[in-house]
Amino acid sequence: MIQADAESRSWLLGKVRAVREELEKMEATPELLDPLVDAAASEEASAHNNGGVPSQVEYLLRNGWTPDDILFQARVEQENDEVPTPP
């Protein structure tokens, strides 16, 4: 398994280098790829949202959120969503 991970990482780094070199030849700016990154991130977020709470929590944890951050923000969202009852 470790060998496969190293091979996968090596393959990825080679692709990154090749694409970066082509983009440099094009004198591309980071803004050129902004729409692609936005679309890819949106697709990933949508997949996790459709996966339910376990998938959402996993995604947030893998992206730097702590359990306390998640629970705090969930409570804030829940409070904001509460509809006041009429008097």
Token pair, residue 85, equals: 């009852």
Angle in degrees, 0-180, between the axes of helices 30-50 and 53-62, rounded to the nearest 10: 140
Amino acid letter for position 63: N
Q: Average the pLDDT over 11-21 and give the result.
A: 95
- Between CA 53 and CA 42 the distance in angstroms is 17
Candidate from 3-12, 17-26, 62-71 with smallest mean pLDDT: 3-12
Residue 26 pLDDT grade (very low, low, confident, very high; cuts 50, 70, 90): very high
Candidate from 36-40, 53-57, 61-65, 79-83 with smallest mean pLDDT: 79-83
Angle in degrees, 0-180, between the axes of helices 53-62 and 67-81, rounded to the nearest 10: 130
